[in-house]
Chains A and B, each alone.
Chain A
């Protein structure tokens, strides 16, 4: 069975500082990996995903994540955050060639001015 661990429930950071949100997974088979962002009282929006190919994937708003198979990690990074990045971030994994997602418990990113 697969599982996802997001060790940091909250990450406070000042505007324009770099940030890393950690995600580790466990699985006995190949996986797809996802980061979703949830703004208050809204559904989840896909931020970025890794299905195959380059292990470094990027989003349109400056986030990136790198799939590290040996460390079973998919950490999310941004070199300089904005106030508007304040949200809940969920890491998720699915078994290769399936749709079913297993979510982590989420990390609350709070950006302060």
Chain B
């Protein structure tokens, strides 16, 4: 149980385009979903927290207009990187919590912006 999927696993895009990443909880309802960014050999940096049906809460320093988060249902959250630039290249990981104070993580999405 507690499986979280992400799609796509890898994406390469041109600078200036937008990229959407999906995060799904497959076998439980996720009241809260989290989006992280992980730099090489670094820990995870929390970008934002989203609750189903409400606006995401962004961490300090994260541009909400650049990283659009939608949590439309209890099993799906999306992260859209708008007007991506090479510095946005990173490993993006989502996690989901069903209210049991434990986060279950997706496999991550490797974004490369050329």
Contact of B110 among A41, A101, A105, A106 (CB under 8 A): A41
Contact stretch, chosen from A20-28, A45-53, A69-77:
A45-53
Judge if B54 is at the interface, Cβ distance under 8 Å. no
- Complex contacts, A32 vs chain B, CB 8 Å: 101
Interface size class of A (residues with CB under 8 A): 20 to 34
Contact of B32 among A42, A45, A99, A106 (CB under 8 A): A99
Known: A42-B108, A43-B6, A43-B108. Contact between A90 and B101, CB under 8 A? no
Cα–Cα, bound, A86→B48 (Å) = 30
Cα–Cα, bound, A34→B44 (Å) = 14
Assess whether B105 is in contact with A36, with CB atoms less than 8 Å apart. yes
Number of A-B contacts (CB under 8 A): 52
Q: Majority SS of interface residues in chain B?
A: strand
Closest B residue to A100 by beta carbon equals B49
Tell me which of B34, B102, B108, B110 has the highest count of chain A C-beta atoms within 10 A of its own C-beta: B102
Assess whether B101 is in contact with A43, with CB atoms less than 8 Å apart. no
Cα–Cα, bound, A36→B105 (Å) = 10
- Complex contacts, A98 vs chain B, CB 8 Å: 101
Contact with A along B35-74 (1 / 0, CB 8 A): 0000000111010010000000000000000000000000
Assess whether A44 is in contact with B101, with CB atoms less than 8 Å apart. no
Contact of B93 among A43, A49, A94, A105 (CB under 8 A): A43
B-binding residues in A (CB < 8 A): 32, 34, 36, 41-46, 49, 51, 90, 94, 97-101, 103-106
Give me 10 other A-B pairs in contact (C-beta within 8 A), A42-B107, A44-B105, A46-B103 excluded: A41-B108, A43-B4, A44-B93, A44-B95, A51-B102, A99-B34, A100-B34, A101-B46, A101-B103, A105-B42
